[in-house]
Chain A
Amino acid sequence: GQQVMQIPQYQHVQEGEDFTTYCNSSTTLSNIQWYKQRPGGHPVFLIQLVKSGEVKKQKRLTFQFGEAKKNSSLHITATQTTDVGTYFCADGTASKLTFGTGTRLQVTL
Protein backbone atom coordinates (compact mmCIF):
# COMPACT_ATOMS: atom_id res chain seq x y z
CA GLY A 1 0.00 0.00 0.00
CA GLN A 2 0.89 3.63 -0.19
CA GLN A 3 3.46 4.88 2.31
CA VAL A 4 3.52 8.36 3.70
CA MET A 5 6.80 9.13 5.45
CA GLN A 6 7.25 11.82 8.03
CA ILE A 7 10.49 13.35 9.24
CA PRO A 8 11.81 13.81 11.78
CA GLN A 9 10.40 11.06 14.01
CA TYR A 10 11.15 13.12 17.09
CA GLN A 11 12.22 16.67 17.83
CA HIS A 12 13.02 18.39 21.08
CA VAL A 13 13.03 22.20 21.08
CA GLN A 14 13.30 24.99 23.60
CA GLU A 15 10.21 27.09 24.01
CA GLY A 16 10.31 29.95 21.51
CA GLU A 17 12.20 28.01 18.84
CA ASP A 18 10.57 27.11 15.54
CA PHE A 19 9.62 23.58 14.50
CA THR A 20 8.94 21.95 11.14
CA THR A 21 7.74 18.48 10.25
CA TYR A 22 7.75 17.13 6.71
CA CYS A 23 5.47 14.63 5.03
CA ASN A 24 6.75 12.89 1.89
CA SER A 25 5.33 10.42 -0.58
CA SER A 26 6.72 8.69 -3.66
CA THR A 27 3.30 8.97 -5.29
CA THR A 28 1.04 11.95 -5.80
CA LEU A 29 -0.95 12.82 -2.72
CA SER A 30 -4.67 13.41 -3.17
CA ASN A 31 -5.53 15.58 -0.17
CA ILE A 32 -3.38 16.20 2.88
CA GLN A 33 -4.82 16.46 6.33
CA TRP A 34 -2.87 17.30 9.48
CA TYR A 35 -3.71 16.08 12.95
CA LYS A 36 -2.30 16.67 16.43
CA GLN A 37 -2.35 14.06 19.18
CA ARG A 38 -1.53 15.16 22.72
CA PRO A 39 0.14 12.58 24.98
CA GLY A 40 -2.53 10.14 26.14
CA GLY A 41 -5.11 11.72 23.86
CA HIS A 42 -6.70 11.13 20.52
CA PRO A 43 -5.86 12.70 17.13
CA VAL A 44 -7.49 16.06 16.55
CA PHE A 45 -8.01 17.40 13.04
CA LEU A 46 -6.12 20.61 12.29
CA ILE A 47 -6.52 21.36 8.60
CA GLN A 48 -6.90 19.98 5.08
CA LEU A 49 -4.93 21.02 1.99
CA VAL A 50 -6.27 20.19 -1.43
CA LYS A 51 -4.57 22.31 -4.07
CA SER A 52 -1.02 22.14 -5.39
CA GLY A 53 1.14 24.83 -3.75
CA GLU A 54 -1.53 25.68 -1.20
CA VAL A 55 -0.47 27.51 1.97
CA LYS A 56 -2.72 27.93 4.99
CA LYS A 57 -2.09 29.54 8.35
CA GLN A 58 -3.62 29.02 11.77
CA LYS A 59 -2.06 31.51 14.22
CA ARG A 60 1.52 30.23 14.68
CA LEU A 61 1.01 27.18 12.43
CA THR A 62 1.73 27.30 8.69
CA PHE A 63 0.77 24.39 6.44
CA GLN A 64 2.10 23.92 2.92
CA PHE A 65 1.28 21.53 0.11
CA GLY A 66 4.06 20.96 -2.43
CA GLU A 67 3.73 22.07 -6.01
CA ALA A 68 3.99 18.47 -7.22
CA LYS A 69 1.61 17.26 -4.47
CA LYS A 70 4.21 14.80 -3.23
CA ASN A 71 5.07 16.53 0.01
CA SER A 72 3.65 18.74 2.70
CA SER A 73 4.97 20.55 5.74
CA LEU A 74 3.79 21.95 9.03
CA HIS A 75 5.78 24.80 10.53
CA ILE A 76 5.24 26.13 14.04
CA THR A 77 6.67 29.56 14.84
CA ALA A 78 7.86 30.28 18.37
CA THR A 79 6.78 27.00 19.96
CA GLN A 80 5.01 26.91 23.29
CA THR A 81 4.69 24.08 25.79
CA THR A 82 1.08 23.66 24.65
CA ASP A 83 2.43 22.53 21.25
CA VAL A 84 3.73 19.27 22.77
CA GLY A 85 2.34 16.19 21.05
CA THR A 86 2.61 14.08 17.93
CA TYR A 87 1.77 15.60 14.58
CA PHE A 88 0.45 13.36 11.83
CA CYS A 89 -0.14 14.02 8.18
CA ALA A 90 -2.71 11.88 6.39
CA ASP A 91 -3.44 11.39 2.74
CA GLY A 92 -6.58 10.26 1.02
CA THR A 93 -10.30 10.72 1.08
CA ALA A 94 -12.99 10.61 3.73
CA SER A 95 -13.12 6.84 3.39
CA LYS A 96 -9.55 5.71 2.76
CA LEU A 97 -7.20 7.87 4.80
CA THR A 98 -3.58 6.80 5.23
CA PHE A 99 -1.62 8.33 8.08
CA GLY A 100 2.05 9.13 8.18
CA THR A 101 4.21 7.77 10.97
CA GLY A 102 4.07 11.02 12.91
CA THR A 103 6.56 13.48 14.42
CA ARG A 104 6.70 13.72 18.18
CA LEU A 105 7.43 17.23 19.43
CA GLN A 106 8.79 17.91 22.88
CA VAL A 107 9.02 21.51 24.08
CA THR A 108 10.90 22.50 27.20
CA LEU A 109 11.22 25.84 28.99
Chain B
Amino acid sequence: EAQVTQNPRYLITVTGKKLTVTCSQNMNHEYMSWYRQDPGLGLRQIYYSMNVEVTDKGDVPEGYKVSRKEKRNFPLILESPSPNQTSLYFCASSGGGARGNDGYTFGSGTRLTVV
Protein backbone atom coordinates (compact mmCIF):
# COMPACT_ATOMS: atom_id res chain seq x y z
CA GLU B 1 0.00 0.00 0.00
CA ALA B 2 1.32 3.44 -0.99
CA GLN B 3 1.83 5.43 2.17
CA VAL B 4 3.78 7.90 4.24
CA THR B 5 4.69 6.57 7.67
CA GLN B 6 5.49 8.85 10.58
CA ASN B 7 6.68 7.85 14.01
CA PRO B 8 5.86 8.33 16.76
CA ARG B 9 2.15 9.24 16.62
CA TYR B 10 2.26 10.87 20.03
CA LEU B 11 5.19 12.28 21.96
CA ILE B 12 5.48 14.20 25.20
CA THR B 13 8.94 15.56 25.94
CA VAL B 14 10.67 18.14 28.08
CA THR B 15 12.18 21.43 27.01
CA GLY B 16 15.66 21.06 25.58
CA LYS B 17 15.69 17.31 25.06
CA LYS B 18 16.62 16.56 21.45
CA LEU B 19 14.13 14.50 19.49
CA THR B 20 13.64 13.12 16.01
CA VAL B 21 10.37 12.42 14.24
CA THR B 22 10.85 9.90 11.47
CA CYS B 23 9.11 9.94 8.10
CA SER B 24 9.30 7.32 5.38
CA GLN B 25 7.51 6.96 2.04
CA ASN B 26 7.31 3.93 -0.24
CA MET B 27 6.22 5.68 -3.46
CA ASN B 28 9.68 6.70 -4.75
CA HIS B 29 8.60 10.35 -4.52
CA GLU B 30 11.16 13.08 -5.12
CA TYR B 31 9.43 15.75 -3.04
CA MET B 32 8.93 15.60 0.71
CA SER B 33 7.79 18.23 3.19
CA TRP B 34 7.14 18.81 6.86
CA TYR B 35 4.20 20.85 8.03
CA ARG B 36 2.94 21.89 11.43
CA GLN B 37 -0.73 22.46 12.11
CA ASP B 38 -1.93 24.80 14.82
CA PRO B 39 -5.48 25.95 15.58
CA GLY B 40 -6.39 29.05 13.62
CA LEU B 41 -3.12 28.99 11.67
CA GLY B 42 -3.72 26.10 9.32
CA LEU B 43 -0.83 24.12 7.88
CA ARG B 44 2.55 25.87 7.73
CA GLN B 45 5.51 24.46 5.89
CA ILE B 46 8.64 23.89 7.97
CA TYR B 47 11.11 22.40 5.49
CA TYR B 48 10.93 20.69 2.15
CA SER B 49 13.17 18.51 0.03
CA MET B 50 13.26 18.18 -3.73
CA ASN B 51 15.51 15.11 -3.77
CA VAL B 52 18.32 13.39 -1.93
CA GLU B 53 20.61 15.94 -0.28
CA VAL B 54 18.46 18.84 -1.50
CA THR B 55 16.52 20.61 1.25
CA ASP B 56 15.27 24.13 1.79
CA LYS B 57 13.45 26.20 4.37
CA GLY B 58 9.70 26.62 4.34
CA ASP B 59 7.80 29.35 6.12
CA VAL B 60 8.56 28.41 9.75
CA PRO B 61 11.98 26.68 9.86
CA GLU B 62 13.33 28.15 13.11
CA GLY B 63 14.14 25.50 15.70
CA TYR B 64 14.02 22.61 13.23
CA LYS B 65 16.48 20.65 11.14
CA VAL B 66 15.97 18.04 8.44
CA SER B 67 18.07 15.67 6.39
CA ARG B 68 17.49 13.70 3.22
CA LYS B 69 20.22 11.07 2.96
CA GLU B 70 17.95 8.55 1.26
CA LYS B 71 15.04 9.15 -1.06
CA ARG B 72 12.49 7.40 1.13
CA ASN B 73 13.35 9.04 4.48
CA PHE B 74 12.99 12.63 5.66
CA PRO B 75 13.41 12.93 9.45
CA LEU B 76 12.52 16.10 11.35
CA ILE B 77 14.94 17.00 14.13
CA LEU B 78 14.28 19.30 17.05
CA GLU B 79 17.69 19.96 18.62
CA SER B 80 16.33 21.83 21.64
CA PRO B 81 12.54 21.67 21.74
CA SER B 82 10.59 24.51 23.34
CA PRO B 83 6.93 24.72 24.40
CA ASN B 84 6.05 26.83 21.34
CA GLN B 85 6.88 23.79 19.22
CA THR B 86 3.95 21.93 20.73
CA SER B 87 1.90 21.14 17.66
CA LEU B 88 0.57 18.53 15.26
CA TYR B 89 3.21 17.66 12.67
CA PHE B 90 2.63 16.15 9.25
CA CYS B 91 5.09 14.70 6.81
CA ALA B 92 4.03 14.59 3.16
CA SER B 93 5.44 13.43 -0.15
CA SER B 94 4.71 14.07 -3.81
CA GLY B 95 5.92 12.85 -7.17
CA GLY B 96 5.90 16.49 -8.29
CA GLY B 97 4.95 18.04 -11.60
CA ALA B 98 1.80 19.76 -12.79
CA ARG B 99 0.08 16.82 -14.43
CA GLY B 100 -3.25 17.65 -12.91
CA ASN B 101 -3.35 14.78 -10.46
CA ASP B 102 -0.22 15.00 -8.37
CA GLY B 103 -0.87 16.25 -4.87
CA TYR B 104 0.77 15.50 -1.57
CA THR B 105 0.25 12.23 0.28
CA PHE B 106 0.27 12.95 4.00
CA GLY B 107 1.32 10.80 6.91
CA SER B 108 -1.02 10.25 9.85
CA GLY B 109 0.59 12.96 11.93
CA THR B 110 2.67 13.27 15.09
CA ARG B 111 1.19 15.10 18.04
CA LEU B 112 4.08 16.63 19.97
CA THR B 113 3.79 18.20 23.40
CA VAL B 114 6.81 20.00 24.88
CA VAL B 115 6.55 20.75 28.60
Question: Residues of A with Cβ closer than 8 Å to B?
Answer: 1, 31, 33, 35, 41-48, 50, 88, 90, 93-102
How many chain B residues touch A (CB < 8 A): the figure is 32
A-contact bits for B10-33, CB 8 A (1 contact / 0 none)? 000000000000000000001101
- Contact (A95, B31) CB under 8 Å given A42-B109, A44-B106, A48-B101: yes
- Contact (A42, B106) CB under 8 Å given A94-B31, A102-B42: yes
Having A47-B103, A50-B98, one finds 4 other A-B pairs with CB under 8 Å, namely A48-B102, A93-B98, A96-B45, A97-B104
Cβ–Cβ < 8 Å partners of B102 in chain A = 48, 94
Cβ–Cβ < 8 Å partners of B83 in chain A = none
Q: Is the CB of A50 within 8 A of B104?
A: no
Instruction: Verify if B67 is at the interface (C-beta below 8 Å from A).
Output: no
Please give the distance in Å from A31's CB to the nearest CB on chain B.
6
Q: Is the CB of A88 within 8 A of B50?
A: no
Instruction: Verify if B43 is at the interface (C-beta below 8 Å from A).
Output: yes
Cβ–Cβ < 8 Å partners of B92 in chain A = 43
Cβ–Cβ < 8 Å partners of A93 in chain B = 96, 98
Q: Is the CB of A98 within 8 A of B106?
A: no
